[in-house]
């Protein structure tokens, strides 16, 4: 099928992968797949764009998700970075794929490098092969929207804005942001915590926990010399603040005349009831974030080996869609006992961590254990 005219007439840049003066033919899917796996960088790029265009012509607005399953690569990391060119259409233009040369500027390369760090963290620490544990592609789109002050996980890929340059820098700037977004994918494939109220706050907190552990692992930091900040570097120098959130001191990450004060509580007595932000999922996550911090500090050493391991097993095997803070406290206590032993230092630390935020793990009676 020949459709050069689309490339000439299409006014929406994000929709037309065909470069000017180029002719594009739709190849059978199996051939495109082969090219994507075996071709040169340029061939891969064109095959990808051809597939995307095919899907868009079939009427799909955002098509990346439908293509993931075709190209899941077993047992090795596979990253793909797209450029939305300041549009809001996903995934955008392919600019870098696994093993490809560094190009496209800092957001492209940060998205590539930091998603690699996140993959390696999950693989090496928890023997997890990507987001779905089956080698799912790690796809990212950078330069999303205009002055877009956000990063999000859309259920199939990561999306990063450039920031407005006034309050926010680019959202690829911080390793833990990328660890945070990919962990939303892990949660989606495991506990599938509902994104509302306490289960939503747990969802957010788990992303902060593993986001910061990705950073600590990359920097080889122990719990007591880590900064426990979420999104350090995201604020421009104009903002009075060190980061977006602090797991060590929720509520004290920023205090600025323009953007206000960090609203996170550190204790259940300060739990915020609100209808905004899916019931305050980014606000009340401060409570469970702080419980993790207290636990990790109490145990000491490398947080991913102890507290991180307890939280990961709880996420993978025990949490359910509607789990709340109290259930998280109970389950992490049980898991700590299973991994490290009843009344172990680690299990006592979990108990102390949750008590520090106003939640005491309820211990199951021995006959149920």
Handedness of CA 258, 208, 146, 89 (dihedral sign): negative
Q: Give the residue with the Cβ less far from another protein, 3 or 195.
A: 195
Take residue 204 and report the two structure tokens written for it.
């957010």
φ, ψ (nearest 5 deg) of residue 279: 85, 30
Q: Give the residue with the Cβ less far from another protein, 32 or 141.
A: 141
Q: Give the residue with the Cβ less far from another protein, 281 or 350.
A: 281
In 3D space, the residue among 86, 63, 237, 56 whose CA is nearest the CA of residue 160 turns out to be 86
For the CB of residue 177, give the shortest distance to another protein in the complex, in Å.
7
Distance CA 102, CA 108 (A): 8
Q: Give the residue with the Cβ less far from another protein, 26 or 259.
A: 259
For the CB of residue 67, give the shortest distance to another protein in the complex, in Å.
15
User: Which residues are at the interface with another protein (CB under 8 A)?
Assistant: 65, 88, 149-156, 168, 171, 177, 180-181, 184-185, 187-189, 192, 195, 203-204, 207, 231, 234, 244-245, 259-260, 263, 276-278, 281-283
Q: Is the link from the previous residue into 369 a cis peptide, with omega within 30 of 0? A: no
In 3D space, the residue among 278, 279, 283 whose CA is nearest the CA of residue 260 turns out to be 283
Q: Give the residue with the Cβ less far from another protein, 278 or 322.
A: 278
In 3D space, the residue among 302, 270, 267 whose CA is nearest the CA of residue 288 turns out to be 267
Q: Which of 282, 290, 327, 334 is catalytic?
A: 282
Which helix (H) or strand (E) covers residue 118, if one does?
helix 106-126
For the CB of residue 364, give the shortest distance to another protein in the complex, in Å.
30
Q: Give the residue with the Cβ less far from another protein, 244 or 297.
A: 244
For the CB of residue 233, give the shortest distance to another protein in the complex, in Å.
13
φ, ψ (nearest 5 deg) of residue 106: -60, -45
Take residue 122 and report the two structure tokens written for it.
């999950």
For the CB of residue 244, give the shortest distance to another protein in the complex, in Å.
5
Residue 252 per-residue DSSP state: -
* Residue 181 bears catalytic tag: yes
Q: Which of 110, 143, 180, 181 is catalytic?
A: 181
Contact 334, 364 (CB under 8 A): yes
DSSP string, 198-216: HHHHHHHHHHHHHHHHHHH
For the CB of residue 136, give the shortest distance to another protein in the complex, in Å.
12
Handedness of CA 75, 153, 297, 268 (dihedral sign): negative
* Residue 184 bears catalytic tag: no
Active site residues per annotation: 181, 282
């Amino acid at each position: 099928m020949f459709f050069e005219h689309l490339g000439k007439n299409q006014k929406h840049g994000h929709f037309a992968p065909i470069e000017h003066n180029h002719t594009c033919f739709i190849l059978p899917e199996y051939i495109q797949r082969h090219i994507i796996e075996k071709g040169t960088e340029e061939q891969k790029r064109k095959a990808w764009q051809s597939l995307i265009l095919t899907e868009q012509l079939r009427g799909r607005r955002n098509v990346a998700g439908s293509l993931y399953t075709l190209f899941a690569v077993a047992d090795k990391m596979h990253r793909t970075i797209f450029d939305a060119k300041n549009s809001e259409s996903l995934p955008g233009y392919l600019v870098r794929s696994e093993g490809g040369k560094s190009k496209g500027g800092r957001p492209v390369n940060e998205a590539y490098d930091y998603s690699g760090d996140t993959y390696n963290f999950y693989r090496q620490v928890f023997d997890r092969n990507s987001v779905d544990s089956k080698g799912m592609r790690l796809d990212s789109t950078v330069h999303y929207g205009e002055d877009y002050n956000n990063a999000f996980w859309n259920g199939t890929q990561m999306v990063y804005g450039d920031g407005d340059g006034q309050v926010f820098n680019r959202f690829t700037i911080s390793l833990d942001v990328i660890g945070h977004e990919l962990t939303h994918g892990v949660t989606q494939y495991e506990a599938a915590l509902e994104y509302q109220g306490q289960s939503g706050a747990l969802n957010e907190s788990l992303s902060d926990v593993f986001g910061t552990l990705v950073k600590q692992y990359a920097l080889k930091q122990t719990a007591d010399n880590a900064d426990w900040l979420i999104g350090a570097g995201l604020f421009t120098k104009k903002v009075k603040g060190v980061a977006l959130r602090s797991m060590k001191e929720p509520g004290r990450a920023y205090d600025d005349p323009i953007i206000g004060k960090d609203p996170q509580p550190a204790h259940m007595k300060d739990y915020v009831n609100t209808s905004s932000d899916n019931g305050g999922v980014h606000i009340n996550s401060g409570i469970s974030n702080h419980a993790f911090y207290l636990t990790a500090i109490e145990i000491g050493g490398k947080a991913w080996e102890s507290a991180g391991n307890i939280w990961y097993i709880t996420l993978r095997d025990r949490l359910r869609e509607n789990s709340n803070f109290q259930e998280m406290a109970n389950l992490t206590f049980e898991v700590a006992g299973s991994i490290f032993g009843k009344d172990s230092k680690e299990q006592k630390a979990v108990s102390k961590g949750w008590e520090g935020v106003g939640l005491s793990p309820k211990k199951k009676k021995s006959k149920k254990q």
